[in-house]
Amino acid sequence: MIVEYKGRTTECFIDSIGYEYLYFTPKDSVDKDSMKLKDVYYAYNDFNRVFHYSWSFEENIRRIENRAGKLFTVSGDTLDFIGITFNHDMIQPEILVKTEKGQSEYVSMFDVESIETDYSIMSYSVKNGFNISFYSFLIVTAIDVLLNWDKERRASPQIWDQYNDLMPKISPLGFNKQEGTGVAYESFTAVIPSSVMISMAYDVYSNKNEFYFTPVLENKEFGRSMYVFSLKHILDTQLMKVIFMLEKSKLGRKVIEWFR
């Protein structure tokens, strides 16, 4: 079974898994087909063994662990829990559910339709909101430095003048000794909290505290997409693709080996 991010599943015979594609023959068909690995949430076999899972799958598990919430099974049962831990090797994809103090039980991941955590999960919303606004300011400032570059001035003072505008007056550290708080400081301190609040509101609206695993029916989709957006992960993935392409040539292998 191949499970996609929105819960669509494909029952098939797996032929092979390459660097970028998963090759398979759909059930009741003789024609080979393929799917990009980046579109696969996870895949498992007849023996209930997960043999491929995405970075988003792993990240979702990490976010769920050690939180309280509710677990919903495919048979319609509900378990309230105060702690939860996954078996990460996926040879036996079980979940240890702590239902109350001193009492816990194992549940197969394939018996779980979804897990709903408490809103402590919003800590990720706070982090995302801060990072978006903070790094946006830094990038915009860097662009402003380039657009207003003065060839007759030294580089260090020009760069410092721009970033100094984002700083409060902290004389002992050398920030804005004469002028006072930087001209962009008020905007800087106002946009960050606003970005955090918007990020939290969006994640509450999008039910980001709900995580889906096993579709009840083959054609039933999840309540939301399980894809986790991460600019860092995207850049790392693209970098690995470039390295993979370079290593196909003799010169490329030498260059990569030199950097390593």
Task: Give DSSP secondary structure letters for 157-169.
Answer: HHHHHHHHTTS--
Q: What is the pLDDT of residue 244?
A: 76
Per DSSP, 76 falls in state S
Is 116 buried (19+), middle (13-18) or exposed (0-12) by CB count in 10 A?
middle
Q: What is the dihedral of CA 148, 152, 156, 158, to 10 degrees?
A: -30
Task: Give dist(CA 168, CA 7) in Å, integer.
Answer: 48
pLDDT digits (tens, 9 = 90+) for 49-73: 998 999 999 999 999 999 999 999 9
Residue 169: predicted pLDDT: 58
Strands (E), 66-124: 69-73, 78-81, 83-86, 94-100, 103-108, 112-117
Q: Which pair of structure tokens corresponds to residue 78?
A: 């509900």
Pick left, alpha or beta for residue 154 (phi over 0 → left; psi -120 to 50 → alpha; otherwise beta).
beta
pLDDT of residue 181: 60
Residues forming a β-bridge with 79: 71
Phi-psi category of residue 82: left, alpha or beta, with phi > 0 → left and psi -120 to 50 → alpha: alpha
Name the pLDDT band for 113 (thresholds 50, 70, 90).
very high
Among the ranges given (66-80, 107-121, 150-164), the one the predictor scored with the smallest mean pLDDT: 150-164
Average pLDDT, the chain: 85
21, β-bridge pairs: 36
Domain ranges of the chain: 122-204
Global confidence as pTM: 0.80
Q: Is 6 exposed, middle or buried (0-12, 13-18, 19+ CB in 10 A)?
A: middle
Note the pLDDT tens digit of each residue in 71-111: 999 988 999 999 999 988 888 899 999 998 889 999 999 99
